[in-house]
Amino acid sequence: MTFSLDQAGRQAWEWLEAASTFSETRDIAREGVTRQCATREHRDVLEALTGWMEALGMSVRLDNAANLIGRHASGTPGARTLLVGSHQDTVPNGGKYDGMMGVILPLALIKYLQEYDIALPFHIDVVAFSDEEGTRFSSTLLGSKVLAGTFEPEMLKATDDEGVTLESALKAFGCDPARIPEDRYRPEEVIAFLEAHIEQGPQLEQASLPVGVVSAITGIERHQITVRGMAGHAGTVPMSLRRDALVGAAEVIRHVDALCKGTDDLVGVVGKIENAPNGVNVIPQTTTLSIELRSPRDEVRRRAREQLLEQIRVSLEALDLTFDHAQTYEQSAVQCSPWLTATLEEAVKDSGITPRVLFSGAGHDGLAMADLCDISMLFLRCREGVSHHPSEAIEPEDLTAAVEVLAHACQRLARRQPQA
């Protein structure tokens, strides 16, 4: 009984359904999936992945940043490695496919390659990165930075909402964070990094295409602003004397929205806000909010940052409010490698699909992996472009198409390898 591409697609679907059950939230349909770095849910999903990988004859290891790495070994002496994979973690109440689909699809591919005795002159390492979203520890791209050798040790001091440090969480997970530097890959051993991921946008669905190929990944920066005013009795302080931090925060939010709506190639959001003392009858004293700016052009994003900070300063001064500002993250935009993107385009054509090249407004592990090796991405259509939401959905048959494209891509990569 052969294992057809359709069966590979169905196998991926079943594995994804099973993986989605490892979630803090129980009612997945209504609440989505919540699985954060170095948690019980993370451990449980790695246990399942390990079982599926070992059943495929893969060797499996956990590195010191809780990345799970399964190797489909090549018999070619001195073989280099094709890295594939994505992140196991989700945003709170996220979808079933953002991240995990990029881990599962390569497993279905490997099962298909084995069934048809398609031997490759390179190893395939499938990686479930421990943390990409950075939800628990504000440690965006933690897992991929470790493999790329760009992990900053001070990240280990980051704490979650309960004050648990990343370092202690990794130790409790069975890792030795002090040895993280040993987990980097050496550039000379790696052919490239390929990530399959849902588009998280509407273009492929609008074009009625199951897959697309990525040309570049957006640059991202994040800031934290704390607006400081003066708490007081909401009934007795005259309006003209109030120093209301939340009114100041409203000005910040308005500036972010107006600037991004008025600037091409720029998007932004105030995603998190904390207000204190947050009493129904108390004038707010401090309001802390996150600001995120994204652009495919770093100079646009940086110019917008300067404009925004000046607008915030002027507005808060006029309200007799002070503020603290810290930039908490910056990641430059990354171009995918043209040769690898072209290889994926050819593989899409080999699969009988019209190639579509698109830009990613979402960040991905490729942003970090680009410091190690050439990268590119295969996007899959997602329903109405919805992501970071419980209703994130894909078409099962698109998994079949993606396995076929990845199989053609591997065979094209094999033909490119120098003969041993």
Binding site for ligand HGY (CB under 6 A): 132-133, 362-363
Binding segment (CB under 5 A) for Mn ion, from list 98-106, 107-115, 139-147, 272-280? 98-106
Name the residue among 288, 38, 34, 63 with its Cα closest to residue 159: 38
Residue nearer to ligand HGY on the CB measure, 351 or 360? 360
Burial class (CB in 10 A: 0-12, 13-18, 19+), 1: exposed
Neighbours of 273 (CB within 10 A): 14
For the bound state, the minimum distance from the C-beta of residue 322 to ligand HGY, rounded and expressed in Å, comes to 30
Distance CA 297, CA 300 (A): 5
Binding segment (CB under 5 A) for Mn ion, from list 94-102, 230-238, 366-374, 396-404? 94-102
363 touches, from ligand HGY, Mn ion, none (C-beta below 5 to 8 Å by class): ligand HGY
Q: Three-class SS of residue 312? A: helix
β-pair type (211-217, 273-276): unpaired
Residue nearer to ligand HGY on the CB measure, 362 or 394? 362
Distance CA 112, CA 95 (A): 26
**DSSP per-residue codes, 344-382:** HHHHHHHTT----EEEESS--THHHHTTTS-EEEEEE--
Residue nearer to ligand HGY on the CB measure, 68 or 362? 362
| Two structure tokens written together for 351 | 């699969």
| Two structure tokens written together for 273 | 């806000």
Distance CA 211, CA 399 (A): 9
Residue nearer to ligand HGY on the CB measure, 283 or 377? 377
Identify whether 355 is preceded by a cis peptide bond (ω within 30 of 0). no
Binding segment (CB under 5 A) for Mn ion, from list 93-101, 222-230, 313-321, 333-341? 93-101
Using CB under 5 A, count the residues that bind Mn ion.
Answer: 2
For the bound state, the minimum distance from the C-beta of residue 138 to Mn ion, rounded and expressed in Å, comes to 15
Residue nearer to ligand HGY on the CB measure, 242 or 388? 388
Binding segment (CB under 5 A) for Mn ion, from list 67-75, 96-104, 280-288, 331-339? 96-104
For the bound state, the minimum distance from the C-beta of residue 309 to Mn ion, rounded and expressed in Å, comes to 27
Note the residue count of the chain. Answer: 420
Binding segment (CB under 5 A) for Mn ion, from list 92-100, 160-168, 239-247, 326-334? 92-100
If one asks whether residue 98 binds Mn ion (CB under 5 A), the answer comes out as yes
Residue nearer to ligand HGY on the CB measure, 351 or 387? 387
For the bound state, the minimum distance from the C-beta of residue 66 to ligand HGY, rounded and expressed in Å, comes to 17
If one asks whether residue 183 binds Mn ion (CB under 5 A), the answer comes out as no
Burial class (CB in 10 A: 0-12, 13-18, 19+), 328: middle
Residue nearer to ligand HGY on the CB measure, 132 or 195? 132
| Two structure tokens written together for 107 | 């497993």
For the bound state, the minimum distance from the C-beta of residue 98 to Mn ion, rounded and expressed in Å, comes to 4
Residues 231-250 that bind Mn ion (CB under 5 A): none
Distance CA 87, CA 209 (A): 24
Whose structure tokens read 């495919």?
Answer: 296
Residue nearer to Mn ion on the CB measure, 98 or 199? 98
Binding segment (CB under 5 A) for Mn ion, from list 90-98, 112-120, 254-262, 400-408? 90-98
In contact, 401 and 180? CB cutoff 8 Å: no
Residues that bind Mn ion (CB under 5 A): 98-99
